[in-house]
Structure 1
Amino acid sequence: MSVRVDWRQSVALTGTVTKYLAVAMLVPLGISFVYGEDTVVFLISIAIAIVVGLALEQVSDSHELGPREALLFVGLSWGAVAVIGAIPYVIAGYGTESALGEPVNALFESMSGFTTTGATATDEISFARHSHALLMWRQLTQWLGGMGIIVLMVAILPEAAVNGAQLIESEAPGPELQKLTPKIAETARLLWLFYLGFTVLYILILLGLHYTGYAPNMDAYNAVAHGFTTLPTGGFSPQAESIAYFSPAVQWAVIPFMLIAGMNFALFYLLLQDEYAAFLQDRELQAYLGANAGVAVILWGLLFTGSAPPLELGGITQGALENSLRQATFQVASLLNSTGYATSNFAEWGNTAQGVLLFAMFIGGSAGSTGGGVKIVRWLVVLKSIRRQLFTTAHPSAVRPVRLGGQVIDEDVINAIYGFTLLYLLTFGIATVFLLLDAGRVGLELTVFEAISASLATIGNIGPGFGFLGPFGTYELFPETSKLLMIFLMWIGRLEIIPVFVLFTGAFWNE
């Protein structure tokens, strides 16, 4: 059989993406000048990104991608940016005690950043161990990966816009692409403008809280750093205590923006068109907000009554209306859409509360959002198709299509959603077993619950898990083989599994 995929075109365009990553590194380079830290690190990293990018571009002089080349390009690009993004960690950590100096740990941190997972492989996040420039690069990788590197390339590169629909569909979270305008490049630019606009608004609000005295710790550096990781549902923070480091006013301010990040960004176009009713009547939006509210109420009840956390934490939230409501609302909003921020060490909460949070982690954000997980719309279609199956079993002659928001869902779409969901759960289960076996091989004490949370947190791009993987914990203790598996899980989870798995099939490569 002859090879059908012209991989050279995909590699060449991947080089273009790699080359432009050097432009993003100018941000931490500027920070390095301000603080006088790690300037050489980013000068070297920028040089490497440019050289590698230019070298890859020479593989082919054509950037015209067919459907298969587009799939290969998306997969290669996300792998390439993670590798290039790890270079500053390796250089900065070389010869120091930083865990990020180890290549596997650096790649884990970089992949976690670009896929907006928010899991860390370093033992300590602090300005005493890492420079302001390096920690800002860590934040920036999440912002770049949030709306999507390929979406950005389609928005600014004419050669990528030619196959923009195929590229964005391969990268964007959710079962289908919503075109806002006739030209896909314009759609990509609109999505990034929404994303940028909300990021700027969020930073300004945080700065406003700081200068009015409600957030003394939220200086300009922290405001920008958290602006880079809230809207992409990333969860990285330059503070080891995450959002718990900041005042309750900041914690309340973060919640609505985490909720916005989990919404379908295409819906905001309806608001620009004054179609408020269509915005509010969107079934996925209603289900997303309803799921957040419902799970938060359950968790709030557990925290307020003191029936879930251990005694020492129960004393903090039991009977405390504002505190328990804030903790519950924040953690559900953070984990349901895969942000991963924390206002408390929920890994120390009782089993019931942790079970509620684990359930929230399975739900996921909306299609077209920056959130991870299975996605609300898929669960809606699965539940509606199950109800349809029960009805047609009782009424064999009935013809009953699955509808969502008054629209009939095509049977091919339903089958694709079932295929994705099954593959997602199967991959998650196999990875859980591997993590348990690998931990036993090296003598790492890993409970089943911790292994489940590690597998789910990486494939769902959520970040924190339970036990020693909690919001203030680290993945550093895992053996390198487990870390490599979780790097793979983060990669395929961000690209919705199937666009990556198809690259490993013979049918993809051959006539």
Structure 2
Amino acid sequence: MTRTIDARATLSYTGSIVKLLSASMAVPLVVALIYGEDALAFAASMTVAVAVGAGLERLDDEPELGPRDALAVVSLAWLTAAVVGAIPYVIAGYGTPSALAHPVNALFESMSGFTTTGATATAEISFERHSHAVLMWRQLTQWLGGMGIIVLMIAILPQLAVNGAQLMESEAPGPGLQKLTPRIVETARALWLIYLAFTVALIAILALLGRTGYAPEMDLYNAFAHGFSTLPTGGFSPEAESIGAFSPVVQWAFVPFMVIAGVNFALFWYVLRDDPREMFENTEFRIYLGLVTAFAAVLAVGLFYGGAPATDIGGVTEGVPENALRQGVFQVASLMNSTGFATADFAEWDTQTQFLLLFAMFIGGSAGSTGGGIKVIRWLILLKTLRRELYTTANPDVVRPVRLGGEVVDEDVIRGILVFTLLYFLVFALSAVFIELDTARIGERLTGTEALAASLATIGNIGPGLGPLGPFGSYEFLPNTTKLLMIGLMWIGRLEIVPVLALFVAGVDEQ
């Protein structure tokens, strides 16, 4: 029989992660003290998180993890992070009309933040309804979850580095982990430093645009808030109109960083090590850029000639080259990478345009990026595998391996991709059916397309859907049962399904 999960070791590791995660609440606490809002809520939340984390940590002084334990730690850590992250919403919202005061809504918002989904359970985002500290916490949860909570903890906590490779392998988005340095802790630090550098660069650019008069509405608070949610492809914004609240020059400034967020961060490591060929010779990178460019061009041309309905957000695109190009590029860069920012209400666009955007959502970013979706590399390998099967059917005596970038793809990797894709579509489809039936139960009927988009938006960690769940809508009106399902979808979607479901498979070897 295989080794069962060591509950004490698993909970001890989880406690260490929770305890350290509580330190991140110091950021909104400082904001709360500056603005004189909700300081007690965050002080209390930090106290609770530290106590819970320390209590769990003491369950095992020297925990050792096996493969199943690593899966359990990663799965439990993300779930526990969402629970801990929900505490400030409940405490700060107690006694107020805030929707986030409800535990289910608070957990939805926290899970959406940490998994960088960007779907919101409150219909009103404003400084009148929520404090600066609470809104900054929303943004910060996305930044913490973007590169990965486990990767961050390995970079900081030496004791986690012992089992770091197993933990990172379970958390990493994509078919496999790319080890950049001999020591896994150095790889974790390298990835986070690159992530931090891009975040700081965007914050500096946004702050500079605000100070120079190009975007007077982009103050320092907004610069930090949006910097925290762009590189992780999160999509939360303290502004009700998302990026549509800012000038065109600010909207353009976001585009390159959203595209960067969908690139495998390991490639930037090679650029820094004076080996840029690794990036430009990478097949997935070239295909990814080609798809972003192609989708953006098609959408921009469609908006220019067909136009989108003129609204207060987005404006007229028909016959207006700059606006049509900006809206097309921005929406594709945002949705293909699962960022979820918006500068126009694409839920009001025609059906053909919406299907183009849905198709871009399915593709996703690159493996090793902070983007969601199925990932470009998986689609490439699936197509190559399909081509091989068709060829070997006609030529049964030929042995033909699948190659990517001149390298043979291991058959175990192909099998893993096939399993993941099958599970992805199965869970996605069944969840869409449940969402449509459950919303109809309370009289809030969604169309089939809207239910499909809602399922995809949560399992793909994308955020905005269609119809009332569009970029300027919210998930608040949905029944709690649907919200709980979506919380689960965001959770397993961020961990790419297999690590979570593998925990429920009996670990017995047949003799």
Instruction: Name the TM tier (shorter chain).
Output: over 0.9
- Distance, in Å, in 1 between the alignment partners of 2:185 and 2:93 is 39
TM-score after normalising by structure 2: 0.98
Equivalent residue runs for 1:92-171 within 5 Å: 92-171=92-171
Q: Residue by residue, what CA displacement relative to the aligned partner does 1:335-362 show, whole Å, maximum 9, x if unpaired?
A: 0010000000111111111111011110
Q: Partner residue of 2:246?
A: 246
Contact in 1 for aligned 2:309/2:316 (Cα 8 Å): no
Deviates more, 1:180-189 or 1:267-276: 267-276
Q: % of aligned pairs identical?
A: 64
Q: Partner residue of 2:301?
A: 301
Q: Which amino acid aligns with 2:249?
A: A
- Distance, in Å, in 2 between the alignment partners of 1:355 and 1:152 is 36
Q: Partner residue of 1:317?
A: 317
Q: Partner residue of 2:257?
A: 257
- Distance, in Å, in 2 between the alignment partners of 1:455 and 1:467 is 13
Equivalent residue runs for 1:373-452 within 5 Å: 373-452=373-452
- Distance, in Å, in 2 between the alignment partners of 1:421 and 1:429 is 12
Q: 1:311 to 1:79 in 2, by over 3 A?
A: closer
- Distance, in Å, in 2 between the alignment partners of 1:495 and 1:215 is 37
Whether 1:52 aligns to 2:52 is yes
Q: Which amino acid aligns with 1:433?
A: V
Q: Residue by residue, what CA displacement relative to the aligned partner does 1:454-508 show, whole Å, maximum 9, x if unpaired?
A: 1000000000000000001000111000000000000000001000011122227
Deviation at 1:3, TM superposition (A): 6.7
Q: 1:167 to 1:312 in 2, by over 3 A?
A: closer
Q: Residue by residue, what CA displacement relative to the aligned partner does 1:72-112 show, whole Å, maximum 9, x if unpaired?
A: 00011001010000000001111111100000000000000
Deviation at 1:135, TM superposition (A): 0.3
Q: 1:46 to 1:485 in 2, by over 3 A?
A: same
- Distance, in Å, in 2 between the alignment partners of 1:360 and 1:460 is 11
Q: Partner residue of 1:176?
A: 176
Contact in 2 for aligned 1:154/1:161 (Cα 8 Å): yes
Q: Partner residue of 2:205?
A: 205
Contact in 2 for aligned 1:3/1:510 (Cα 8 Å): no
Which SS does the other structure have where 1:506 is aligned? coil
Q: Which amino acid aligns with 1:289?
A: L
- Distance, in Å, in 2 between the alignment partners of 1:426 and 1:238 is 34
Unaligned 5+ runs, structure 1: none
Whether 1:7 aligns to 2:7 is yes
- Distance, in Å, in 2 between the alignment partners of 1:84 and 1:160 is 20
Deviation at 1:237, TM superposition (A): 0.3
Aligned-CA RMSD value: 1.6
- Distance, in Å, in 2 between the alignment partners of 1:390 and 1:510 is 34
Q: 1:16 to 1:315 in 2, by over 3 A?
A: closer
Contact in 1 for aligned 2:438/2:482 (Cα 8 Å): yes
Deviates more, 1:155-164 or 1:464-473: 155-164
- Distance, in Å, in 2 between the alignment partners of 1:89 and 1:5 is 33
Which SS does the other structure have where 1:366 is aligned? coil
Q: Which amino acid aligns with 1:44?
A: A
Q: How many residues align?
A: 510
Deviates more, 1:384-393 or 1:139-148: 384-393
- Distance, in Å, in 2 between the alignment partners of 1:277 and 1:157 is 33
Q: Residue by residue, what CA displacement relative to the aligned partner does 1:358-384 show, whole Å, maximum 9, x if unpaired?
A: 111100110000000100000000011
Q: Residue by residue, what CA displacement relative to the aligned partner does 1:212-269 show, whole Å, maximum 9, x if unpaired?
A: 2111111100000000000000000000000000010011010000000000000011
Contact in 2 for aligned 1:285/1:366 (Cα 8 Å): yes
Q: Partner residue of 1:269?
A: 269
Q: Partner residue of 1:32?
A: 32
- Distance, in Å, in 1 between the alignment partners of 2:246 and 2:310 is 24
Contact in 2 for aligned 1:4/1:510 (Cα 8 Å): no
Contact in 1 for aligned 2:115/2:494 (Cα 8 Å): yes
Deviation at 1:58, TM superposition (A): 2.1
- Distance, in Å, in 2 between the alignment partners of 1:301 and 1:90 is 46
Q: 1:311 to 1:238 in 2, by over 3 A?
A: closer
Unaligned 5+ runs, structure 2: none
- Distance, in Å, in 1 between the alignment partners of 2:315 and 2:140 is 38
Contact in 2 for aligned 1:306/1:315 (Cα 8 Å): no
